[in-house]
Amino acid sequence: MTVAVAALVAGVVVGSTAGATAATTQTVTECTTITEPGAYELSANVSAPANDTCIRIESSDVVLDGQGQTITGTNGENATGTGILVSASEGGDLLENVTVRNVHVANWGTGVTYRDVTDSTLSSVTVTDSQNGLTVTESSQITIQNTSATDNEDGVLTRDVTDSTFHDTTVANNEGTGLYTSNDFDGNRLVNTTARENGETGIRIGPAWNTEFVNTTTSSNGGDGLTMLDSGRVEMSHLTATDNGETALSLTAVAGARFENVTVQNNTGAVYAAVESRNVTVQALTMGPGGTVSLTAGSATITDAEPPAAPEGYEAVGPAINVSRAEDGPSMPVVSITLDERDETTPALWQYEDGEWRELSDVTFDSGEYTLTATVGNGIVTPLDTTTADNETDG
């Protein structure tokens, strides 16, 4: 079936489908190919064998409203087709101004695909029980909002996507990776992204450039919480990585990235592990009580640590980290520890290595922020202060 411009349900006006040649809403009741601009809606659930594409959109200036209906493939695990494919016909022009919204897609090889599309929207779409949930390839200026991919083999996958925005994306309970970007991921913004209980990595990014993440949560994934590869000029604020099976934040060949307001707890692997990387800043990292840690590093591994007994007359007064600089690291990490508790004394930064404590030299203390900063080597780094009894005696 091919739906063209003739209205199947007349007289229902849909606002703002720029450039469309028809303003009435056309009803879709089965798998079809949309070849003309206009507004279309699903009036019922659709089921079809999942060895081909069910709904194919080959025209610009199209709105497809699923009205909460479900498009289901009937081939089960052998599905190879696509539930909704937005892509020009062979030899056709790049599609633009296409919106797909309010639909559930299940049991396909790929739930929804946008390919060679620009200035388009995907909104309130849920994909489940498919091999790939949502794929976006060779596209730009795409807005993806209120979208979830759950219980698939992989959740959301992108390739060559630029200048696009992802709002309120959830990838959960997928067998493989939750969110996977590859090739050119440039100039994008992701807000309110949740990756939880995926079998492998929660979020895998790269190559990525000039991209911003705001409010990102990775939790209870089988692999790393967040993996970043071959990337630079990436900013991430308000990242939470908890209860992941491997490293919270894993970087390879990253140059120039900033992570701010990061909470990391109960991951099996390291807090931060980077190789072949440089100019990476992690600001306001919370790993537990006592304060926050900030660091500027490249190739190094940072884990939270339980320090051994402090030297006589001293006690630990803040968080402790274990630093291991990679052999290819261009410079030693710079670590800052900001303490929650303040008193009249000035604590010092100490490092424990090879069974011995030593007080670090060239430590900067910001009394206003109550922050200690120093270049550190390998070993456990933590702030120590004289014990309460010693302070009282000195007074």
Q: How many CB atoms lie within 10 A of CB 21?
A: 11
For residue 67, pLDDT beyond 80 = yes
Strand pairing class (32-34; 371-375): unpaired
Q: What are phi and psi of 393, to 5 degrees?
A: -65, -45
Confidence of residue 393 (pLDDT cuts 50, 70, 90): very low
pLDDT value of position 90: 84
* Residue 116 identity: D
The reported pTM is 0.90
Please give the average per-residue pLDDT across 217-246, as a whole number: 98
pLDDT value of position 13: 33
Task: Name the helix (H) or strand (E) containing 73.
Answer: strand 62-73
Among residues 233, 299, 304, the alpha carbon closest in space to that of 268 is found at 304
pLDDT value of position 289: 78
Whole-number Å distance between alpha carbons of 75 and 55: 16
For residue 9, pLDDT beyond 60 = no
pLDDT value of position 17: 44
| Percentage of the chain exceeding pLDDT 70 | 91
Confidence of residue 389 (pLDDT cuts 50, 70, 90): low
Average pLDDT, the chain: 90
For residue 243, pLDDT beyond 60 = yes
Please give the average per-residue pLDDT across 364-381, as a whole number: 93
Three-class DSSP category at 131: coil
Contact predicate 197/184, CB 8 Å: no
Whole-number Å distance between alpha carbons of 359 and 210: 39
pLDDT value of position 22: 46
| Percentage of the chain exceeding pLDDT 90 | 81
pLDDT value of position 330: 59
